[in-house]
Amino acid sequence: MSWPPTGVRRAESLANHTSFRIGGPAEWFAEPSTVEDLIALLRSAAHRDTPVSVIGGGTNSLVADRGIHGLVLRLGRGFRMVEPLSDAQDDHARVRCGAAVVTQRLVSLACQHGWGDLEALAGLPGQVGGAVVMNAQNIGQFVERLTLVSLGGDVEQLTSAQMQFAYRYTALKPGIITDVMFRFPRAPVGVSADRIHQALCRRNDSQETRLPSAGCAFKNPPGTSAGRLIDQAGLKGTRIGDARVSGRHANFIVNVGQATCDDVVSLMEHIQRRVVQRFGVRLEPEVRLFGERWDHV
Ligand SMILES: Cc1cc2nc3c(=O)[nH]c(=O)nc-3n(C[C@H](O)[C@H](O)[C@H](O)COP(=O)(O)OP(=O)(O)OC[C@H]3O[C@@H](n4cnc5c(N)ncnc54)[C@H](O)[C@@H]3O)c2cc1C
């Protein structure tokens, strides 16, 4: 098998593919458009022992300044379909959704079609595949099953039970989610749209949306909020390089200019030390770290 296969690019900047706007290059980068292309790429990479990483919207990801060794995949066009599979009179809506669908498109469709209980997803950045991996806003409660292509190129169907969804956790084995079957309760169209609109307003009031970030840096420890602990440790506004603890939401680290990954990691380590000293609680990163230099966080 010759390398690189058609369409694989060299030294693609990952800062352009993450909401943090931080990160060095992917050694190799590709956006397969079909499942067949994806499988061919994975088999080709496996054949030459090239490590594979996957990125979705890049809104929960922090990439090392030195970049990522190996092949980084981002699903392309053919993974952006949304296919409602039930009739309007069915009591639940079943919807098959490509993993590269922007989560907000799903939310807009919920407003139009009266799919209920999606308000927690209103304003959530990123793509459906990334949201499922992170179980962002408990999206797992709607997942019936999904398709996973293993790093060796084998296609498998997984049920929701196999995913073991929990707070910001899934038991996903290494591979790439290509599509997800959702099951949503029905809600009257106007009601669903109203709730989504209100949720969006609450999010815009409480979260930091104006500066580049990856959302919450740390998971909430049991029974408390990471943001509250960071705030009470007096860390709002603390800055290392161009990485700063948001003054609006203490669990957001924002890039106020040319922040590097090292700036962010150093700030995260500083936060962890101060919160341990003050409260005896060790904060665990929520943001996914790609590349080298993660021994401490
Ligand atoms: C302003 C802001 C607000 C946010 N608010 C919230 C919030 O309220 N709640 C919340 O939970 N999160 C929040 N986040 C974090 C983030 O938006 C979510 O976790 C989001 O669902 C991640 O989706 P993504 O496509 O960007 O994932 P990425 O960052 O691209 O990837 C996340 C992980 O999923 C993996 N992955 C991505 N796609 C696939 C795939 N197809 N197959 C297999 N693995 C894959 C990646 O390898 C990585 O490990 C926020 C982020 C920002 C910037």
- Domains recognised in the chain with CATH numbers: 9-78 (3.30.43.10), 80-205 (3.30.465.10), 209-290 (3.90.78.10)
CA dist 109 and 114 (Å) reads 8
Residue 177 Cα to ligand 1 midpoint, Å, equals 13
Whether pLDDT at 82 is above 90: yes
Ligand 1 touching residue 148 (CB < 6 A): no
83 CA to centre of own chain:
22
Section 43-72 average pLDDT: 96
Ligand 1 touching residue 126 (CB < 6 A): yes
Atom of ligand 1 nearest to the CA of 177: 42
Ligand 1 touching residue 100 (CB < 6 A): no
pLDDT of residue 165: 97
For 215-270, write each residue's pLDDT tens digit: 999 999 999 999 999 999 999 999 999 999 999 999 999 999 999 999 999 999 99
Q: Give every CB contact of residue 279 below 8 A, 6+ residues apart in sequence.
A: 229, 232, 233
Atom of ligand 1 nearest to the CA of 100: 41
Name the more confident of 197 and 252: 252
Whether pLDDT at 297 is above 60: no
Average pLDDT, the chain: 94
Query: Where in 87-142 does DSSP place strands (E)?
Result: 92-98
Query: Where in 17-58 does DSSP place strands (E)?
Result: 25-30, 52-54
Whether pLDDT at 286 is above 70: yes
pLDDT of residue 293: 60
Whether pLDDT at 88 is above 80: no
CB atoms within 10 A of CB 204: 12
pLDDT of residue 86: 80
Residue 87 Cα to ligand 1 midpoint, Å, equals 31
Beta strand 82-84 with 92-98: parallel, antiparallel or unpaired?
antiparallel
User: Which residue among 60, 68, 148, 167 has the greatest number of ligand 1 atoms within 8 angstroms of its CB, and so is best to mutate?
Assistant: 60
Section 66-94 average pLDDT: 92
Residue 2: pLDDT band (50, 70, 90) is: confident
* Helix, strand or coil, per DSSP, at residue 252: strand
Section 94-103 average pLDDT: 97
Name 289's bridge partners.
Answer: 62
CA dist 47 and 101 (Å) reads 30
Section 84-104 average pLDDT: 91
Section 168-187 average pLDDT: 95
pLDDT of residue 188: 86
Residue 289 Cα to ligand 1 midpoint, Å, equals 12
* Nearest residue (CA) to ligand 1, atom 32: 130
Angle formed at CA 73 by CA 211 and CA 98, multiple of 5 degrees: 85
* Nearest residue (CA) to ligand 1, atom 3: 215
Whether pLDDT at 161 is above 70: yes
Structure tokens belonging to residue 114? 């009266």
